[in-house]
Amino acid sequence: MTRYIIRRILIMPIIVFGVSILIFSLLMLLSPVERVALYVSDIPHTANAVDRVIAKYGLDDPMHIQYWRWLVGQKDEDTGEIKGGILRGDLGWSHTAQMTVTEAIGQRFPPSAELALFSVIPMLGIGIWLGVQSALHHNKAIDQVLRAFSIVGYSLPTFVFGLVMLLIFYSLLGWFPPERLSFWAKAIVYSPSSGYTQYTHMFTIDALLNGRTDIFVDAIKHLVLPVIGLSYLNWALVLRVMRSSMLETLRQDYVTTARSKGLPEKLVINKHARQNALIPVATIGGLMFIGLLSGVVITETIYNLHGMGLLYADAALNLDIVTLLGLAMFNSLILIAGNLAVDIAYAIIDPRVRLTA
């Protein structure tokens, strides 16, 4: 197992390097003139202004030189300041957010993380329970109904489901509004004189830390629809994996042994079968959580939740490539690190992987 983990860790820098090359190549798909347009804010007034910017920043230099500059930054000859350089944590200026991309990530990450934290529990809990029910009643009516339910969930586009939920529960019934807080709550949260401190920028946690249960309830109310939406769309996958893994486990010899020992069926299923069947679900559960962390573009767009996903959507609409690539870099780093963590955890909990690798 140690060898497997070491190999995985050694490969990681190669992948990160590759990702940086890929992102840089996306940037290089644009011509030098288009790249000037990304970084200057107003229309140049003289004819050769664009050429001067290209010459100053070497935007038509050979690729590898530009790549190096993109990594470590470049010294501005006029001011002597070093600018840019993703290794220095400078991902550029985001026109969409009107702040640097790094600042934007710091501000937009907490809402996405909050949504992810609240979604992952019903997503996995209910999904696993449904999968077990489906497997225990294999090919019977319950199984068929649950499978149909899961295929429908899997097929429903996020934006259709989200908008229909808003149609029913907001437009028609007025129960659950979009956005993250109501007006009165926002007035308290954002007012400097109210004595309300935003510790984490996750509204539910901040509300508890400030002892404001009314704001906490309001924040939860705003999370209900997106959490239901995300859970339903992901139950399908959890259910399917749990079902087939459970069916596989139920056919193992040790389950038969447990049964023939005369153990009650409930104990056989809960102790012997389900524990082992959970292993593959743990993997996809981890991956799903990582996916949620990087922001769910469409859900955040529909409910107007100002997280990473909505920033991504807005940047795409403005063709704000700087923001898009900066966020893409950040997201893939999360994904790579998360994948590594999941794989290592998998190797630790599953003895079969431990022995063969």
Partner 1 sequence: MTGRKIFKQLLSNPLSLSGLILITLFIIVALFAPIIAPPPERARDPYDIPRLGYFSEPQPPSAEAKMGTTEGQYDIFYGIVWGTRTAFRVGLICTGATLVIGLLLGTISAYYGGALDEVLMRIVEIFQAFPFLLAAITMSAVLQPKLGKGIWTPIVALVAFGWTTYARLIRGDVLTVKQREYVDAARVIGSSDLRIITRHILPNAIFPTMVVASMDIGTYVLAFAALSFLGVGVQWGYADWGQIISFARNWIPLLATYWYIIVFPGLAITLFVLAWNLVGDAFRDILDPRMRGAKGA
Q: Is the dihedral of CA 91, 94, 98, 103 positive or negative?
A: negative
For partner 1, give the closer residue by CB, 139 or 197: 139
Question: Exposed, middle or buried by CB within 10 Å (0-12, 13-18, 19+), for 285?
Answer: buried
Question: Exposed, middle or buried by CB within 10 Å (0-12, 13-18, 19+), for 322?
Answer: buried
What are residue 60's phi and psi, to 5 degrees? Answer: -115, 25
For partner 1, give the closer residue by CB, 84 or 309: 309
Torsion of CA 84, 90, 91, 96, to 10 degrees: -100
Report, in Å, the least distance between residue 58 CB and partner 1.
21
Q: In the beta sheet, which residues pair with residue 99?
A: 94
- Length of the chain equals 357
Question: Exposed, middle or buried by CB within 10 Å (0-12, 13-18, 19+), for 89?
Answer: exposed
- Which amino acid, one-letter code, is at 20? S
Q: Is the dihedral of CA 172, 173, 179, 183 positive or negative?
A: positive
Distance separating alpha carbons of residues 251 and 160, to the nearest angstrom: 39
For partner 1, give the closer residue by CB, 268 or 347: 268
For partner 1, give the closer residue by CB, 58 or 157: 157
3-state secondary structure of 75: strand
Q: Which of 49, 148, 217, 267 binds partner 1 (CB under 8 A)?
A: 148
For residue 238, state whether it binds partner 1 (rule: CB under 8 A): no
* Residues 230 and 296 sit within 8 Å (Cβ to Cβ): yes
Q: Which of 317, 341, 345, 349 binds partner 1 (CB under 8 A)?
A: 317
Torsion of CA 143, 277, 344, 12, to 10 degrees: -30
* Residues 230 and 115 sit within 8 Å (Cβ to Cβ): yes
Site string for partner 1, 2-41 (x = CB under 8 A): ---------x--xx--xx-xx---xx-xx---x-------
Q: Which stretch binds partner 1 (CB under 8 A): 113-121, 204-212, 214-222, 291-299?
A: 291-299
Q: Which of 63, 319, 348, 349 binds partner 1 (CB under 8 A)?
A: 319
**Helical (H) or strand (E) element with 93:** strand 93-94
For residue 158, state whether it binds partner 1 (rule: CB under 8 A): yes
- Which amino acid, one-letter code, is at 48? N
Site string for partner 1, 98-137 (x = CB under 8 A): -------------------------------------xxx
For residue 154, state whether it binds partner 1 (rule: CB under 8 A): yes
Distance separating alpha carbons of residues 87 and 136, to the nearest angstrom: 52
For residue 265, state whether it binds partner 1 (rule: CB under 8 A): yes
For partner 1, give the closer residue by CB, 82 or 319: 319
For residue 357, state whether it binds partner 1 (rule: CB under 8 A): no
Q: Which stretch binds partner 1 (CB under 8 A): 52-60, 89-97, 243-251, 349-357?
A: 243-251
What are residue 338's phi and psi, to 5 degrees? Answer: -65, -45
For partner 1, give the closer residue by CB, 234 or 301: 301
Site string for partner 1, 175-214 (x = CB under 8 A): ---x------------------------------------
Report, in Å, the least distance between residue 138 CB and partner 1.
3
- What residue ranges bind partner 1 (CB under 8 A)? 11, 14-15, 18-19, 21-22, 26-27, 29-30, 34, 135-139, 144, 147-148, 151-152, 154-160, 163-164, 166-167, 170-172, 178, 244, 246-248, 250-251, 265, 269, 291, 294, 297-298, 301-302, 312-313, 315-317, 319-321, 324-325, 327-328, 331-332, 335-336, 339
